[in-house]
Structure 1
Amino acid sequence: EMFVGVGASRVRDLFKQAKEKSPAIIFIDEIDAIGRARGKNASFGSNDERENTLNQLLTEMDGFGTNSGVIILAATNRADILDSALMRAGRFDRQIYVDMPDVVERKSIFEVHLRPIKTDTSVDIEFLSKQTPGFSGADIA
């Protein structure tokens, strides 16, 4: 956020709305944007807006019990840089690793994305799927 306190305020509002509208799911995509480990490459005593937002997120998550009717999910490509406080018990304590698609899954992804497109009969989806190891669904799309 550009202005001090806005990120933390938005986090408070988000959790308040989720509680009011429960059952609800809060999904935070690319949580590494606010959730990277604190104190790294920061000047002494700094507490920037990102850290304020992260601190508010941690505080809000601590206020949720298992019967709150709100589920909190997050996604990242950089789990290695997340603050350990996010991963402790009662917060994001369960991790589900989603690996890159295998050859069969890549074939399915190609089929889904090529179906609405008029392609030449020589396009070999099987060949394409074998030539793209390490590609994500986004890479293929």
Structure 2
Amino acid sequence: VAGCDEAKDDVAELVEFLKDPGKFQRLGGRIPRGVLMAGPPGTGKTLLAKAIAGEAKVPFFTISGSDFVEMFVGVGASRVRDMFEQAKKQAPCIIFIDEIDAVGRQRG
């Protein structure tokens, strides 16, 4: 990807961290708690997140922002809680929340 050297460096660093988080902790590195990818639909955000997980050989969990806002009270929250519990057990991992802008969107 031409012209995206800083972004490529950030992705490479993230992959290295996921491969060996202990190395970064021993060196006193800043431990990332999350990454926000923003952009219009169809630009490869999901593909990039899956590629990072594959390259780092870590589990990949995905959920849609609309799953947070379910028609039936508690169903969406339960689904999200279950996914985060699974992710904690398999850490380090990637949790990808697609269409997060659906959460908190004003309706009506």
Superposition TM-score, scaled by structure 2 size:
0.38
Higher Cα radius of gyration: 1
Superposition TM-score, scaled by structure 1 size:
0.31
